[in-house]
Amino acid sequence: MSPSKRLFVFDFDWTLIDADSDYFVFEHLSAELSKIQLDSIGKVQWTDLQQRLLGKLFDRGVSREDIERTLANIPFVPERIEALKLMKEHGSDLYILSDANTVYIETILKAYNIDNLFTGILTNPASFDSKGRLNVTRYHGLDKEPHKCPLPCEPNLCKGLELQKLIDSHPWEQVIYMGDASNDFCPSTRLSRERGDLVLARRGLSLEQRIKERPELVRAETVYWQDAQDVLEVTKDIFFGRDRTAAALGSLSGSTAASSTTSLSTMVDSSSSSSSSSSSSSSIVASPVDEVKPSSTQVLSAVESFDSKMFAQAVKA
Ligand SMILES: [Mg+2]
């Protein structure tokens, strides 16, 4: 294995696609079940809820083909595909780390012929049975000990633990994690400033809020983005140099908003960066997990981590 490879790890819903796949399926196949789904946010564990609702969808005569066709209609923005191909062309390993499920993600990637770009997909297992009923189960099953992560991770998936396994599997040149929601905060704390790792956080959603609440836990540089064009620009900066855009445009001093002409250096959050800088200058960098005491109930954590679902609801409204 080459020691110079980069590792890119992506959340899926509202990160690689501009939608929530769990929500999209029911919104387009059953208005009644879509309403039940939204009304159940925070009341039923999300993966368990999908399993129940998929059973009801099957009972209403919705076929495997209906589900697959609906998933294939979820837009995948061309600039994101261009960014992913750029990463792959430069020898990087790409992983998806998601609270959706294998069928949803693999169907969408195959619809855009980009499934071959990814080394692995870590998400809730799913499969159709012989009658066409889709079943989904928790990634971290009820048959296992709870993962006991004190950060706002779902009981069925601590993304930080899974990212840590990937980080430990190879001497990566750089690790880049991209996400949007509260359950993307834990993996964001696993990155290293010394290695030049990056957190790519979607602006305006709860990952940004979490990072700004606890900047001392995120040691890597944080870059905020709003859309696929921003992500493409950041990707070009990673591979071709962060002064690339600045050199083309001249001075960008005073620019703060992310846009299609914004370089990575102007998208880095200054408060987070300076906080991280001061911590990295210390000879001892405390483990972020060790610093955090369990402060909320599992129920509250679950409710808080449903923010993408709530965002989906807000967008629809
Ligand atoms: Mg997400």
User: Tell me: the pLDDT tens digits for 218-249?
Assistant: 999 999 999 999 999 999 999 998 665 455 44
- Residue 87's nearest CA partner among 174, 188, 181, 193 is 174
Q: Residues with Cβ within 5 Å of ion ligand 1?
A: 11, 13-15, 180-181, 308
Ligand 1 center to 19 CA (angstroms): 9
What CATH class is the domain 6-18+77-124+150-316? alpha beta
Query: Across all residues in the chain, what is the average pLDDT?
Result: 82
User: Tell me: the pLDDT tens digits for 179-215?
Assistant: 999 999 999 999 999 999 999 999 999 999 999 999 9
pLDDT value of position 241: 84
- Radius of gyration of the chain measured on its C-alpha atoms: 20
Are the C-beta atoms of 221 and 268 separated by less than 8 Å?
Answer: yes
Are the C-beta atoms of 31 and 57 separated by less than 8 Å?
Answer: no
Place 261 in a pLDDT band, splitting at 50, 70 and 90: very low
Ligand 1 center to 35 CA (angstroms): 20
Q: Is 144 exposed, middle or buried (0-12, 13-18, 19+ CB in 10 A)?
A: exposed
Ligand 1 center to 252 CA (angstroms): 30
Tokens found for residue 26: 């029911």
> Annotated catalytic sites, by residue?
11, 13
pTM: 0.80
Per DSSP bridges, beta strands 6-10 and 198-202 are unpaired
Query: Pick the residue with more confidence: 156 or 259?
Result: 156
C-alpha 223/C-alpha 267 separation (Å) is: 5
Ligand 1 center to 89 CA (angstroms): 25
Ligand 1 center to 183 CA (angstroms): 8
| Amino acid (one-letter) located at 127 | S
Domain ranges of the chain: 6-18+77-124+150-316
Ligand 1 center to 251 CA (angstroms): 34
Flag whether pLDDT at 297 surpasses 60: no
Are the C-beta atoms of 137 and 130 separated by less than 8 Å?
Answer: no
Ligand 1 center to 48 CA (angstroms): 18
- Residue 111's nearest CA partner among 52, 68, 175, 58 is 68
Ligand 1 center to 27 CA (angstroms): 18
DSSP 44-110: S-HHHHHHHHHHHHHHTT--HHHHHHHHHTS---HHHHHHHHHHHHTT-EEEEEEEEEHHHHHHHHH
C-alpha 206/C-alpha 223 separation (Å) is: 14
Q: Is 256 exposed, middle or buried (0-12, 13-18, 19+ CB in 10 A)?
A: exposed
User: Tell me: the pLDDT tens digits for 81-130?
Assistant: 999 999 999 999 999 999 999 999 999 999 999 999 999 999 999 999 99
- Residue 135's nearest CA partner among 30, 35, 64 is 64
